[in-house]
Amino acid sequence: MSASSLLLHRNLFSFTFSSANTILTKPYFATSIKSMEEAQHNLPSTDSSISESVINRNYPKPITAPPPPISKDIELNRATEASSKSILFNLTRDHILYEDEWLMAVNKPKGIYCESVLSSAPQIIVDSQLNEFHLANRLDRDTSGVMLITKSHKVAAKLVKVFTEHKVRKSYIALCIGSSSTPNWSRITVKSGHGRSKHGAWRVYGASDVGRVLPGGSFVRDMETTFEVVSANGEKTKLCEEERVIVVEEGEQELSCDGDGEKDDVVVVVRAFPRSGRTHQIRLHCQYLGIPIRGDVKYHGLYEWRGRRFEGHELHAECLSLDHPVTGDSMVVRAPLPCWAAAGDG
């Protein structure tokens, strides 16, 4: 495939999203990521400067802002602290949410790396002779909640397929800080692109940019999350049957998330249902919606607020629903909510 056809191929298809009060039609990139990679690999090598120039001129532009400069030092301090805590961490029976002979679900604490949870798992399991423990899903360092650990290679392979085919229903809960006013929606779905910018930071891209080449040779991938407002300023929100749908496009800007960290800010607790599994997906979409997660300094969340400094973002993996990889039975695993989720106003 030539460079020109590679760049034009993305405009061949379209699709339509509809809801009770929103109908949006946007261009859609229908070629698989694999074919894109093959196309890039097969670009003519006789004139690499021309090929590189063509690609460079057509890098998609990210929608959301890059991390603020202050985030680098804060994230480094948080990582150092988490490393120290993770070295000393030991999984206990109190962390176990579910267990059978094939797998177990644990409630990962905030500020602990997944690898430390996995490495300590054999210590609390009596019949762990196989020593074939694997993480079925991963959570960010500061994200707490449900994490699955399998006890054999075969079960791990089955769960990888289940997650890859998006047959697991996941729900998260997050405490966000918006500016000035509460969201004008109670339920919303955001469809966008996802990828790394030239500076290496994860960013939101336009939905029609899915499949396009990014600096470094990676590609924009699809990303979709549905959000529901649980409460605003401590008051429960009644969900409407209507669902708003936003399809993010290049040239748009993220919704306003400017706030001074004082009385004008609105505390919003949201429940998130990611329909894809991209890195930092919920955090990125919260930033785009103008309600960054409290403490999430990398994505413009307030880390100092009302006289208190937050040591990590407030995002919790609340529930996993799936068919058991061996028995086929439906299973739902829930983790207890952290205090900030129950209180609603921190």
Catalytic residue among 47, 73, 127, 140: 140
Closest CA to 287 of 170, 210, 140, 174: 174
Q: Mark whether 140 is an active-site residue.
A: yes
Q: Which amino acid is at 174?
A: A
- Counted residue by residue, the chain has a size of 346
Residue 277 carries which side chain, given as an amino acid letter? G
User: 343: closest CA among 261, 238, 264, 267?
Assistant: 267
With a CB cutoff of 8 Å and minimum separation 6, the contacts of 131 are 122
d(CA 297, CA 283): 10
Cβ–Cβ < 8 Å for 233, 175: no
Q: b/e for 96-116, b at 16 or more Cβ within 10 A?
A: bbeeeebbbbbbbbbbbbbeb
Q: Half-sphere exposure (CA, 13 Å, Cβ side) for 38?
A: 6
- 140 Cα distance to chain centroid: 9
Residue 187, strand partner residues: 228
3-state secondary structure of 162: helix
Instruction: Name the residues annotated as catalytic.
Output: 140
